Amino acid sequence: MDNIEHLFLLTGVLLCLSVLATLVSARSGIPILLIFLLIGMLAGESGPGGIQFESYSLAYTVGNLALAIILLDGGMRTRMDTFRVGLKPALSLATLGVVITSGITGLLAVYILDLGWLQGLLLGAIVGSTDAAAVFSLLGGRGMQLNQRVGASLEIESGTNDPMAIFLTLTLIALITGEMNSMGDALLFLLSQFGVGALAGLAGGWLLVQLIRRVHLASGLYPLLVAGFGLTLFALTAVLEGSGFLAVYLAGLVLGNSRLRNLEAILPVFDGLAWLSQIGLFLVLGLLISPADMWALVLPASLIALAMIFIARPLAVLASLLPFFRFNARELGFISWVGLRGAVPIVLAIFPLMAGIEEGSMLFNVAFFVVLISLLVQGSTLPPVARWLEVEVPPEPAPRRRSMLGIFKEDDFEMFLYQVESQSLDGVVVRQLTFPPHCRVAAVFRGENLLPASGSTRLAINDVLCVIGRSTHLKTLNNMFGGDIEVAREKARAFFGDFILDASARMGDVALMYGVDVPFDEQDLTLGDFMLAGSSGHPVVGDHFIRYGMIWTVADVDGDRILKVGMREHEPS
């Protein structure tokens, strides 16, 4: 068999094993990225695969390429409205938080590994940032519905904290090798990483949107255009000494929130590209590892990993968020726990090797072990920790499928598919339903049959409805058709309470109706104003506090305006 055939065989087998491993992850709860790493290690020269791979430069190239695609995809899937509650705290975590995490971890590494000060701080910088691939994969793939403040802060942090980690890593390498002699050079490099990266990303995203609006291509070519543009933007930004990672994330954010009809062709392809990038990246990084070398550092690397998880990250979160933002203790606890490390630290750990630093090999192995511990300890426990800290909210109803129709270039009509699951809709005639303006049932499917979507059509359980509307109609349609309404109401009552009240109600009226002992000076407050006074910053669904013997919970919001409030009796444990 020729070498090219060997390569194709190995690539195909590893890809198939990695894809099938997602089933193992779903059933066992083991983070899928950890499984990808282990498959790579088993395929390496120390495992049964026996593949000899020692090209750090190739791994560095693959790492940058894969991370660029992952961040571009992550940006396209981040909704702009999450920036309302998550941007400022995420930027604090992405800058000050990374510095504190890196500093504490580095100082501990100096004593645990008996390193010099600069070398220890370099290890801290390498493992100092959370990883976008890990955060996007684990938060998005576990079926968790976090409150918007927590989820948005974590996603935006993971997409924007790479420039600080790269700055710290390259600056420390330059100090160790003698290539940088002044703090002025370091400050200029920091400003260029963030400033050039942000400007290039926003400008590049705008240009990409304009380009897609003006060119007419086959639908399958738009994802290739976006991928090519994203890699070009990444490279040009890096040439200008900005952060290519930040640039592609922001460009994806601008594109994903543009409401272009061509997104219907772009997003599904990028979903596959992002998965392929994660698989390829973690397989290649797994191939680099020599288990024999890594096991020699098990004890000190484990101590560093656990110190980072239980000391450095929590202290960094407290220092970055507590003085500036109104996060409660449960939210701070969960954000501290989701300090997931992944591909970025391993890619950064290649930098010292390529720079010829004497301790480079040890730093690489320690960084790899820190990633393994982080994915295993933190990644595998996210759902129970989220439930324990009460940062989950009931999942919102959603259509089984949605797709743009491609009629208008912007603000296009969409097709929403719903299955009738609620008994309250069984036997209801279509004309009895109240739809938003310019929103209609286009088709009704029953079994294998297509029924006429006339006003006299009577719905039945398990019917599939094809509804035409716009994204602005989605909330109303979800409340009408999104799953079993009775079950959803039961879940809502369990979370929000038996009474879900309009936020415009006066506290005095609430006190009279439900027997709550509200002080006189608060009786003229609306329920919404009462909740705002006790909420943590921008209100989000799930915000709650205990007062006057009741648990008050935000049940619905529109921007910063609270619409509904749940109320249930507090039972002291």
Element at 418 (helix H, strand E): strand 414-419
Confidence (pTM): 0.79
CA pair distance 119, 272, nearest whole angstrom: 38
Which residue is associated with the tokens 């101590």? 303
CA pair distance 141, 106, nearest whole angstrom: 32
C-alpha pair distances (Å), 535 with each of 331, 545, 554, 562: 12, 8, 9, 11
Residue at 541: amino acid letter: V
CA pair distance 161, 129, nearest whole angstrom: 6
In 3D space, the residue among 273, 380, 411, 297 whose CA is nearest the CA of residue 26 turns out to be 380
CA pair distance 1, 370, nearest whole angstrom: 39
For the four alpha carbons of 546, 548, 550 and 554, in that order, the dihedral sign comes to negative
Which residue is associated with the tokens 């799953």? 483
CA pair distance 314, 552, nearest whole angstrom: 28
Cβ count near 183 (within 10 Å): 9
- Residue 122 in contact with residue 60, Cβ under 8 Å? no
Tokens matching residue 84: 């309302």
CA pair distance 74, 90, nearest whole angstrom: 15
Give SS3 for 179.
coil
DSSP-assigned states of every residue in 451-496 = EP--TTPBP-TT-EEEEEE-GGGHHHHHHHHSS-HHHHHHHHHHHH
Tokens matching residue 551: 């648990």
CA pair distance 370, 343, nearest whole angstrom: 11
Query: Residue 270 contacts by C-beta under 8 Å, 6 or more apart in sequence?
Result: 69, 72, 73, 76, 223, 226, 227
Give SS3 for 130.
coil
pLDDT tens, the chain, 573 aa long? 457 777 788 778 888 888 887 777 767 667 777 777 788 777 776 666 667 777 778 888 888 888 888 888 888 887 777 777 778 888 899 889 999 999 999 999 998 988 888 899 999 999 888 877 677 666 665 566 788 788 888 888 887 787 788 888 888 888 888 776 666 767 787 788 888 988 999 999 999 999 998 888 888 898 999 999 999 999 999 899 888 888 998 999 899 888 777 787 888 888 888 888 888 888 887 777 777 667 778 888 899 999 999 999 999 999 998 877 778 888 899 999 988 787 788 888 888 888 888 888 888 889 888 888 888 888 888 888 888 888 887 777 778 888 877 777 666 788 888 888 887 788 888 888 888 888 888 888 988 888 877 778 888 888 888 888 888 888 888 877 776 566 666 666 777 777 788 888 888 888 888 778 878 877 788 888 888 876 666 788 878 778 888 888 888 887 778 888 888 877 765
Element at 450 (helix H, strand E): strand 449-451
DSSP-assigned states of every residue in 395-415 = PPP--SEEEE-SSSSBS--EE
Q: In what order do the strands lie in the sheet with 449-451?
A: 401-404, 414-419, 464-469, 440-446, 449-451
In 3D space, the residue among 38, 138, 20 whose CA is nearest the CA of residue 381 turns out to be 138
**Could you give phi then psi for residue 109, rounded to 5 degrees?**
-65, -30
Tokens matching residue 573: 């444990």
Residue 169 φ/ψ region, left for φ over 0, alpha for ψ in the -120 to 50 degree band, beta for the rest: alpha
